[in-house]
Structure 1
């Protein structure tokens, strides 16, 4: 694969502080964790949204927001967030938790489905995202993408890793799995707010795979079958495939990029840990898992309350929104010692970085494969990589989509 990415366009589309992400709090540059620690210590559940309780006054948009006509509550502890995830009947992933209907996009994907319909649709695509399929993703798309990107920077002695490396990997991986050429990858990213434009790119590919399947994800989707309650066998419609594709692009191309940048920032700012990972590559996996716990890129997701209930001492009326601050939950001192410390040697415990329950992130194993392959190859080929002492060091910013600013490095 020869990459033909327009780097200036990549930087525009993947700027945490740019117009694309400003509505989610991309301009927030403080450390939210002290406020979250305080809130968690005060009570399991608070009235209000996470950003308001953190001290951000301007309205923000994210999962479960803004919904100004609904009461809002927020939870900050591990047990309370985990309990909500485990009760999808009371705490639904969407206002209606119904099947996929309406316009193409994430609002009509299985992200908003509930119950048997969600289980059926998820079961169709899940086989392509189980741990055993990680090598399929690595072999077909991830490995080639990673090494092509390193080829472009290896001879320069310095680089910016967050956008020029991390951001490009998931976009090229996902679009590659769709059969989209590299030249069109950024067109898809730019079109995510206009799903119709994504359909224009995907429609001929879906049609071609219905005629002649290949070894890619679109072929898996067009061949997937399910049996309804009457025993009738169905395949996914074109619109259902488009909605799932938009969901995968929206969820996968942003989160993995930012989480990889967070992990690299954590390692590069701690040379002793980076040295240990370089000397023993088996430590890379726990380094990634610890970064997911320590600073998940999406530190909040929401659930819609379906019936009047009392939850950890707080009455929640039907129709209200419960925001689960998983960033705070992942640093709950009742579950982890020294929770603010990035410690790759801590005993492993599941965190909520990928959610929990029926809507656990479908692509989490692909995301892990991208991060393991990308960071591992970077350290293999640029073993002397380090932060550029002459450049501004990276910082973690953002409210609902947290990530690193530019990660300038040298490896000469």
Structure 2
């Protein structure tokens, strides 16, 4: 490692062909130069990219770095010019700081505890079995994203919020469209508007006729309908896209690492460490940003007030100063602990639900189909672009011996 300060040349940075699980090579190279690099912005300003585990963790725990949307005045891809970025809409607490952030997060924390999420295990097992039954009855091949990875977390988050069963298909299609960065602008806006309209109607329905679900419980608080709609949107987006991509990309990674796959099949006690290792290894929620509220010393450099800092979770989770052989998938890894769910006040609220879904669904899939394998060459698996907020596969064709 050298002490010279690295400057990234482009952003986002494409991954190397044939390396679907590794962070982009230039980000890995930047980490080799040191845990922080310069990141030029589209408007000529300079920002920073933090690639080291300890520095990413420290920024996430430091209240001098803000999550507020309206402070995003500079960006590596967007020249905002004189345009003022508006604050996050009511309820969309991921893009807020305390005390607003705490106002929305606090009533949710008790509903996403380890104990409560583990009580959902039986329902996750039932939903998983239903989709595996359908795959088996249809016979090989199958497209794993639509047949398995996407519907399981979709059903669970919809049930938690109280989305009526008959609405789930249309609702999921709308969410898929506005989360897809490759959708054209017209379709994206239409899907986002339709989702917002639906959520507003759902909040009104729960307030009028509460049922046994999270959203109905929240209508008994002092939160407004607009705030509940925003909170619901955040929970849906976070609860759907991340876990769906972890299930699909995690399966892909295990199929490409047959020794790890065999070990997991042979020893059910490895399920929990395997899920944690896949979270670390893949880091599908790969990059977040913060804005310095004052001048801050970080990694021996002064981050000026108002400067944006991008946090590279995928290189932090591959930091050789934190993990032995960081680019190796090892489901029996002893140096655990990762930042896949973030850290600090904004640490992922739904992480325990994601863990339950992964711990149930992945081994169930692998045990139901002992000969599961890719139906296309690995290099033909369609990957999400680096511009997507959540990394993963667009489609994962698989087959097995019927």
> TM-score scaled to structure 1, two decimals?
0.78
Structure 1 unmatched runs, 5+? 1-23, 50-65, 226-234
Report whether the alignment pairs 1:79 with 2:61.
no
Which residue pairs with 2:219 in the alignment?
222
- 2:38 maps to 47
The aligned residue for residue 18 of structure 1 is none
1:408 aligns with 2:394: no
Assess if the C-alpha contact under 8 Å between 1:191 and 1:197 holds in 2: no
**Structure 2 gap ranges (5+):** 1-10, 72-84, 180-187
Match of 2:28 in 1: 37
Q: Cα distance 1:316–1:27, how it changes in 2: closer, same or farther (>3 A)? A: closer
After superposition, the Cα gap between the structure-2 partners of 1:253 and 1:106, relative to the gap in structure 1 and judged at 3 Å, is farther
The 2-side partners of 1:159 and 1:265 are apart by 14
Check whether the contact 1:210–1:222 (CA below 8 A) recurs between aligned residues.
Answer: yes
**Structure 2 residue aligned with 1:15:** none
User: Do the aligned residues in 2 keep the contact of 1:293 with 1:352 (CA within 8 Å)?
Assistant: yes
Question: For residues 371-397 of structure 1, what are the alpha-carbon distances to aligned partners after superposition, in whole Å with 9 as ceiling and x for unaligned?
Answer: 122213213432332333778664765
Which residue in the other structure is 2:78 paired with?
Answer: none
User: Using the alignment, how far apart are the partners of 2:108 and 2:96 within structure 1?
Assistant: 14
Query: 2:219 is paired with a residue of what secondary structure?
Result: helix
Q: Say whether residues 1:133 and 2:116 are aligned partners.
A: yes
What is the rounded CA distance, in whole Å, between the counterparts of 1:307 and 1:293 in structure 2?
Answer: 31
Q: Residue 25 of structure 1: CA displacement?
A: 6.0
Q: CA RMSD for the aligned pairs?
A: 3.0
Q: Does 1:332 align with 2:319?
A: yes
Shift of 1:405: 5.1
State whether residues 153 and 239 of structure 2, in contact with CA within 8 Å, keep that contact through their aligned partners in structure 1: yes
Please give the per-residue CA displacement for 1:153-210, whole angstroms capped at 9, x wherever unaligned: 1121321213432122222322233323233333441366554422332334323322
2:119 is aligned with 1:145: no
The separation in 1 between residues aligned to 2:256 and 2:154, in whole angstroms, is 26
Match of 2:287 among 297, 300, 304: 300
User: How far off is 1:355 after superposition?
Assistant: 0.7
Q: Which residue of 1 aligns with 2:96?
A: 113
Per the TM alignment, residue 114 of structure 1 is displaced from its structure 2 partner at its CA by 1.2
Specify the alignment match of 1:200 in structure 2.
197
Aligned pairs for 1:235-314 within 5 A: 235-314=222-301
Cα 1:164–1:67 change in 2 (3 A) is: farther
Question: C-alpha distance in 1, partners of 2:154/2:318?
Answer: 30
CA offsets 1:191-234 (integer angstroms, 9 cap, x no match): 665544223323343233223432222122213x3xxxxxxxxx
**Among 141, 159, 181, the residue aligned to 1:176:** 159
Where 2:233 maps in the other structure, the secondary structure is helix
Partner of 2:67: 93
Structure 2 vs 1, CA of residues 198 and 80 (structure 1 numbering), >3 Å: closer, same or farther? same
